[in-house]
Amino acid sequence: MSDPDVIVVGGGPAGSCAAIVAARAGLSVVLLERGPFPGSKNMYGGVVYPRILDDLIPNWWEEAPIQRWVTRRATMLLTETQALTVDFRTEAWGKAPYNGATAYRPDFDAWLAGYAEAAGAQVLTSTTVTGLLRDDKGAVVGVTTDRPDGDLRARVVIACDGVNSFLAKEAGLYEHTDAKHFTLGVKETLALPKEVIDERFGVRGREGVDIEIVGCTGGINGGGFVYTNLDTVAVGVVLKLTKLAAQATRPEQIIANLKGHPAIAPLIEGGEMKEYSAHLIPEAGLRMMPKMTTDGMMVAGDAAALCLAAGIWLEGVNFAMASGMYAGETAVEAVRVNDVSAKGLVGYQRRLSNTFVLKDHRKLRRAPELVLSDRVQHLYPQMMANIAERMFRVDNPEPKPGLRRILRQERKRAGVRRRHLWRDAFTGFRSYG
Amino acid sequence: MIAVVVVRDGLLPAGGAEAVAECEGRAVLIGSQASVAAEALHGIATQLTLIERDTFLPGAIADELAALLANEPIVVLPASPDGRDLAPRLAAALQRQLLAGATAVTADRVDLVRNSGRELHRVVPDNRFIATLHPGARGVVPDSMLPAPAIKTAKSSTSKVVDADVIAVHPPDPATVDLAEAARIVSGGAGLDGPDRMRQLAEIALQLGASVGATRVVTDRGWAPHERQIGTTGVAVSPHLYMAFGIAGAVQHTSGLGDPAHIVSVNTDPHCPMMQLADLAIVSDANETLDALQALLS
Amino acid sequence: MSNRIVVCLKWVLQAGEPDDARFAGVSPADHAALELALQWAERTGGQLTAITVGPPQAETALRDAIACGASNAVRIDAPLSTNSADVAAAIASAAHDAKWVWCGDYSMDNGSGSVPAFLAAALSASQALGVTNVTFDDSGITATRRVDGGRREVLAVHAPVVISVEGATARLRRASLTALRASTTAPVDVVVPIVAMRTSQHTIQPYRPRARALAMPSGANVLDRVRSLTTTGTAVATHHEVETLAPAAAAARIVDALRDWGYL
Ligand SMILES: Cc1cc2nc3c(=O)[nH]c(=O)nc-3n(C[C@H](O)[C@H](O)[C@H](O)COP(=O)(O)OP(=O)(O)OC[C@H]3O[C@@H](n4cnc5c(N)ncnc54)[C@H](O)[C@@H]3O)c2cc1C
Ligand SMILES: Cc1cc2nc3c(=O)[nH]c(=O)nc-3n(C[C@H](O)[C@H](O)[C@H](O)COP(=O)(O)OP(=O)(O)OC[C@H]3O[C@@H](n4cnc5c(N)ncnc54)[C@H](O)[C@@H]3O)c2cc1C
Ligand SMILES: Nc1ncnc2c1ncn2[C@@H]1O[C@H](COP(=O)(O)O)[C@@H](O)[C@H]1O
């Protein structure tokens, strides 16, 4: 068999999209996936935003193996005994062209890989890439795998091997990697009858709910989420790795606490645990991103730290799909003009920069740090919840206090300095505003 | 209904007596020292045909028995190794339906165990069929009031059907006994904290004269070779003593366990199935218990 | 004289995932059969044909076999829940000149281990079923199989023969990357069975053990009697107590019990 034009490593969303684009343009593509099928071992929280697929797979919503369409998004601030929720719902997200959906990754990733195969890419599973092949000038010319006779050469290698990509590291694209740039996501999937989920979450049919939570992770900085599937509910937490290591708390314990919270417990009561899984998240965005190309190779998706993890957003799949597509397009371009050097691959960086992929990251570059900061994590939820509690409390015969007074008192009580509050508000505004 | 039971050295196979009981006492015993085996069927058999034969050759025996059984609409064999070897050959020779792995056989209904013991398939059989009955499925109590069975003997005939040549039959050998035949098994599951624990388990097993077993989680992790896996997709065992360290007791595992006289389970979860099965169920850390056990035994 | 070697692979859907081909596959026993068939083909210079009776998705099992070294592959088109005698008849008609047929001892779903025996009958071949160990030599194959009571029967087998092996007999080699790539486009012959294949008719219910006839329990006390009545194969034992012990105490308790029971 002749060598392919492109090797894609990893059958996640980034890898499959890269393979689809390159194969449809007529390149010969081999996609290597270590699992028994694409997506078999992949996990995430649970919501995909596949708008980026509109061109690649027209009317994807008619085909995609989704669980529920997200028509309700809530952000919750929790303290041990309080919950303050901003809750939004819209009918618009429940109809074509839809917005976001919950889906199981083994379903979604396998479905997407099916398009790569249909486009002519060779999808080889149960095959782990173990290293890079380089020529004498150091350019990447292929990969080694764990199979006998397992070296494979190609014009371009697209590394989509996920977070902590050892291919990107082996290629020297990461200057340094640091544990403080990662969070650990852990999740439990709990089985409940569909009708029970519908009733508890106030949805019908294929409607679903996405809840992001701050202040539920004890002393460890992070956040939580609750997502509805058809007949399961995903409950998880995202935890700052360095803090987790410093404190000897087990992630299971933090999920257990979240599940026991008075605002969460009634939602999931009686749910039978079907699965427990854990995975790293590249959290630091721009701060940790590698060089995207080297001679003969590009990096996409989580392998390039393109996951957007910024508080009320935890989006990685759409960033992975987009970057994979752009890497695929760039590979096509480079092979056509016969220049697969880093110079020939510059189109990739350009595509990332000119689209939401890097624009969102630039805009939100301070968000991860802000969201994981001690104040946002430990002080603000308490302060906000106390403010809400006092506003809604009726203290007769005392008259209602003015909002300004409550604010000042609660800020002081929480130990938040006015200067910090302003600064954080400003950062928040610049990022999210 | 009539049972066909293969006899070796005068011994009935597992499930042999049950197959005879399922057929209300009518049976053909074929093999070496069939008459000795017949004595073990007192109180169960009513009518026996004995065929003395020194080697077990499934193709030839099926050919021989075909004529004898031509007018028997229902033939039941125990689902022991020899019964399972012979039954399809009989079905082929008699041109009949085979219903393998039954828990109950009657003329108008056969229950079959399927999908690793999870399902029961209820079949309405053809008029004439062959079935194999799972050993242990029905049980049997000899009736001491039953008169001795009527015994006929038949001659083994010759057949042109070719079988493999039997070179030897080895008795169970305690020295080379493998997991499937081990009388004592010490087994490890996902509750163990690393591959070294399996080596430790092997040392403890040596002290106890036991073999080492494992669950699929352990073999999948590569902590033990696949041939050590006990269960539906591994080896079926039948020890007297089974010691489970950090094993949950999933049905795929326990369905391969046979029927041990004594089960010990050490697990941190008092409610898991293995703890329910155990004669001695200890809630404790399996790893530390192994350390302590090793110290005690050496 | 043909020296055709055949391996029969059953592509099985995983219990609990009945509609999902992603979780389907071939049993460890069939993998062991494939490995031994490959070794035998290498030794004798024969051609190995992989055969399956099943739907189009089952071709993945055949392609995997080709990737591991099978020379060609045949799929006999039929639904999965087909009668064992018919499966064997269909395989026999596609492989009437086969000399060495390798099978797994049981299939994972409806496993009765009967396809290999039916196949032997249909091919007028001898059989060696439930084999735990094989050795190859110049005159043929010596196979050891499990028989009643933990005994082992050693058979000298000569062609034509059907051998069914347990999963632990051999571990399947890993396909090379080149062979794996080539296998994705390798041709698979599709054969329509000549006779109508019967699918089995049955109603399905969760397994419950049949009420067992048991002798009057002997034993000095209630505990022993209950113990003699309850075994793992039937009901859950309810007689025991769960003890919570520190590791050292647990080990001591185990040693005591082993002494009581006469193992030490
Ligand atoms: C707890 C948690 C919750 C999350 N929630 C969300 C969410 O709700 N929404 C969202 O959009 N994103 C979410 N994310 C982020 C999202 O999961 C990732 O951003 C996304 O999966 C990245 O896709 P990818 O294709 O780059 O990598 P991956 O999905 O990680 O895929 C990498 C693939 O490469 C394969 N692979 C790896 N190494 C090798 C090798 N050496 N050889 C061969 N194959 C290899 C892997 O098996 C895998 O299939 C979450 C992440 C976590 C951990
Ligand atoms: C088609 C199919 C076929 C299968 N075939 C087989 C088979 O042949 N054999 C087989 O074994 N399995 C088989 N399985 C898998 C089976 O379903 C179970 O997953 C497996 O048996 C579980 O193994 P385990 O008990 O080691 O692990 P787990 O289920 O993870 O249980 C681990 C146990 O260890 C305990 N534990 C944890 N920590 C400690 C500690 N420190 N000290 C003490 N105890 C601790 C836990 O409480 C738990 O009970 C099969 C599954 C399928 C779907
Ligand atoms: N549909 C099938 N296609 C190919 N081989 C089969 C099929 N069914 C059974 N076999 C072979 O027969 C062995 C025993 O299967 P069974 O008789 O169904 O328990 C399997 O391990 C296979 O080798």
Residue A145: give its domain's CATH number: 3.50.50.60
Domain boundary among A259, A282, A305: A282
What confidence score (pLDDT) does residue B173 get? 52
What is the domain count for chain B? 2
Nearest ligand to the C-alpha of residue B237?
2
Compute, in angstroms, the gap from residue C53 CA to the centroid of ligand 3. 8
Contact list in C for residue B227 (CB cut-off 8 A) is: 168
One domain for residues A266 and A217: yes
Name the phi and psi angles at A293, rounded to 5: -140, 155
At C8-35, the pLDDT tens digits run 999 988 766 667 888 888 988 999 999 9
Q: Which of C84, C168, C146 is nearest to C118 (CA)?
A: C84
DSSP-derived secondary structure letter, B202: H
At A365-400, the pLDDT tens digits run 888 788 888 888 888 888 888 888 888 889 888 888
- CB A12 less than 6 A from any atom of ligand 1: yes
Which is it for the CA torsion A50, A55, A59, A63, positive or negative? negative
Alpha-carbon distances, residue A62 vs A58, A95, A112, B19 (angstroms): 9, 11, 13, 56
SS (H, E, C) B64-106: HHHHHHCCCCEEEEECCHHHHHHHHHHHHHHCCEEEEEEEEEC
Compute, in angstroms, the gap from residue B111 CA to the centroid of ligand 3. 21
Q: Give the residue, out of A8, A31, A41, A44, with the most ligand 1 atoms within 8 A of its beta carbon, to mutate for a pocket test.
A: A44
Compute, in angstroms, the gap from residue C110 CA to the centroid of ligand 3. 9
One domain for residues B224 and B86: no
Hey, how many other C-beta atoms are within 10 angstroms of the C-beta on C156?
17
Domain covering C4-191 assigned CATH 3.30.300.130 in the classification: no
Task: Record the pTM.
Answer: 0.81
Which residues 36-95 of C have a C-beta within 8 angstroms of B?
Answer: 83-85
Which residues are CB-neighbours of B265 under 8 A, at least 6 positions away? B243, B244, B247, B249, B274, B275, B277, B278, B280, B281, B282
The domain in which residue A238 lies consists of: 179-282
What percent of chain A is predicted at pLDDT more than 90? 70
Higher-confidence residue of A148 and A250: namely: A148
One domain for residues A238 and A268: yes
Q: Which of B148, B159, B135, B136 is nearest to B35 (CA)?
A: B148
Nearest ligand to the C-alpha of residue B272?
2
Domain boundary among B139, B154, B169: B154
One domain for residues A292 and A205: no
One domain for residues B184 and B105: no
- B279 with C114: Cβ contact below 8 A: no
Contact list in C for residue A40 (CB cut-off 8 A) is: 22
A235 touches chain C (CB under 8 A): no
CB-based contact C40:C141 (threshold 8 Å): yes
Contact list in A for residue C31 (CB cut-off 8 A) is: none
Ordered DSSP codes for A62-103:
HHS--SEEEEEEEEEEE-SS-EEEEEEE-GGGGSTT---EE-
- C182 with A127: Cβ contact below 8 A: no
**Nearest chain C Cα distance for residue B243, angstroms:** 10
Average pLDDT over residues B185-212: 92
Q: Which among C22, C177, C184 is the nearest to A147, CB-wise? A: C177
Residue B127: CATH number of its domain: 3.40.50.620
What confidence score (pLDDT) does residue A16 get? 98
Alpha-carbon distances, residue A159 vs A293, A323, C67 (angstroms): 10, 11, 25
The count of C-alpha atoms lying within 13 angstroms of the C-alpha of C45, restricted to the half-sphere facing its C-beta, is: 2
What confidence score (pLDDT) does residue C233 get? 36
One domain for residues A196 and A254: yes
* DSSP E strand boundaries for chain C: 4-8, 11-12, 25-26, 48-54, 72-77, 98-104, 126-137, 140-146, 152-157, 161-165, 189-191, 203-206, 242-244
One domain for residues A223 and A358: no
Compute, in angstroms, the gap from residue B23 CA to the centroid of ligand 3. 29
B173 located within any domain: no
Minimum CA–CA partner of C177 in chain A: A150
At A169-180, the pLDDT tens digits run 999 999 888 888
A334 confidence band (pLDDT: 50, 70, 90): very high
B181 confidence band (pLDDT: 50, 70, 90): low
Contact list in A for residue C180 (CB cut-off 8 A) is: 124, 127, 147
Which residues are CB-neighbours of A394 under 8 A, at least 6 positions away? none
Contact list in C for residue B21 (CB cut-off 8 A) is: 213
In angstroms, the CA A291 to CA A282 distance is: 15
Task: Pick the residue whose CA is nearest to atom 38 on ligand 2.
Answer: B191
One domain for residues B251 and B218: yes
Compute, in angstroms, the gap from residue B215 CA to the centroid of ligand 2. 6
- C181 with A127: Cβ contact below 8 A: no
In angstroms, the CA C166 to CA C105 distance is: 5
One domain for residues A332 and A385: no
One domain for residues B191 and B109: no
B10 located within any domain: yes
Longest dimension (CA), chain A: 87
CB-based contact A212:A278 (threshold 8 Å): no
Amino acid letter, residue C256: D
What confidence score (pLDDT) does residue C187 get? 94
Q: What are chain A's partners, defined as 3 or more CB pairs within 8 angstroms?
A: C
Minimum CA–CA partner of A128 in chain C: C177
CB-based contact B256:B230 (threshold 8 Å): yes
Which residues are CB-neighbours of C168 under 8 A, at least 6 positions away? B226, B227, B229, B234, B235, C28, C32, C132
Tokens representing B74 are 């229902």
Q: Which of C240, C105, C215, C107 is nearest to C163 (CA)?
A: C105
Tokens representing B96 are 């009949």
Mean pLDDT, chain B, as a whole number? 90
- CB C84 less than 6 A from any atom of ligand 3: yes
The domain segmentation of chain C, as residue ranges, is 4-191, 222-260
Atom of ligand 2 nearest to the CA of B189: 26
Q: Count interface pairs A-C at CB distance under 8 A.
A: 35
One domain for residues B122 and B211: no
Spatial strand order of the sheet with A152-153 comes to: A129-134, A140-145, A152-153
C to A contact (≥3 Cβ pairs closer than 8 Å): yes
What confidence score (pLDDT) does residue C235 get? 36
One domain for residues A278 and A289: no
Amino acid letter, residue A339: D
CB-based contact A9:A158 (threshold 8 Å): yes
Contact list in B for residue C208 (CB cut-off 8 A) is: 120
Residue A220: CATH number of its domain: 3.30.9.90
pLDDT reading at C219 higher than 50: no
* Helices A356-363 & A346-354 angle (0-180, nearest 10): 60
A184 located within any domain: yes
In angstroms, the CA B179 to CA C237 distance is: 24
Name which of A1, A104, A151, A153 to mutate to probe chain C: the one with the most chain C Cβ atoms within 10 A of its Cβ: A1
B170 located within any domain: no
- C245 with B80: Cβ contact below 8 A: no
A139 located within any domain: yes
One domain for residues B148 and B7: yes
One domain for residues B150 and B186: no
One domain for residues B149 and B8: yes
B to A contact (≥3 Cβ pairs closer than 8 Å): no
At C239-262, the pLDDT tens digits run 567 899 999 999 999 999 999 988
A114-118, B138-142, C138-142: which is most confident? A114-118
Domain boundary among A250, A282, A314: A282
A88 located within any domain: no
Domain boundary among A314, A333, A364: A364
Name the phi and psi angles at A226, rounded to 5: -135, 120
A248 located within any domain: yes
A352 located within any domain: yes
**B95 CB-contact burial (10 Å; exposed 0-12 / middle 13-18 / buried 19+):** exposed
A131 located within any domain: yes
Nearest ligand to the C-alpha of residue B115?
2
In angstroms, the CA A398 to CA A176 distance is: 59
One domain for residues A213 and A123: no
pLDDT reading at C42 higher than 90: yes
A120 located within any domain: yes
Tokens representing A374 are 């001690």
Q: Which among C143, C167, C248 is the nearest to B233, CB-wise? A: C167
One domain for residues B147 and B188: no
C190 touches chain B (CB under 8 A): no
One domain for residues A277 and A335: no
pLDDT reading at A299 higher than 80: yes
Q: Count interface pairs B-C at CB distance under 8 A.
A: 283
What is the domain count for chain A? 3
At A180-197, the pLDDT tens digits run 899 999 999 999 999 999
pLDDT reading at A159 higher than 90: yes
- C177 with A152: Cβ contact below 8 A: yes
CB-based contact A235:A259 (threshold 8 Å): yes
B220 located within any domain: yes
What confidence score (pLDDT) does residue C231 get? 43
In angstroms, the CA C11 to CA A306 distance is: 40
One domain for residues B81 and B209: no
One domain for residues A309 and A334: yes
A226 located within any domain: yes
- B8 with C149: Cβ contact below 8 A: yes
Higher-confidence residue of C146 and A353: namely: A353
One domain for residues A259 and A211: yes
Atom of ligand 3 nearest to the CA of C115: 17
The domain in which residue B127 lies consists of: 2-154
Domain boundary among B107, B137, B154: B154
Question: Chain C interface residues facing chain A, Cβ-Cβ under 8 Å?
Answer: 22, 174-182, 184
Buried b / exposed e over A393-412, threshold 16 CB at 10 Å, is: eeeeeeeeeeeeebeeebbe
One domain for residues A51 and A144: yes
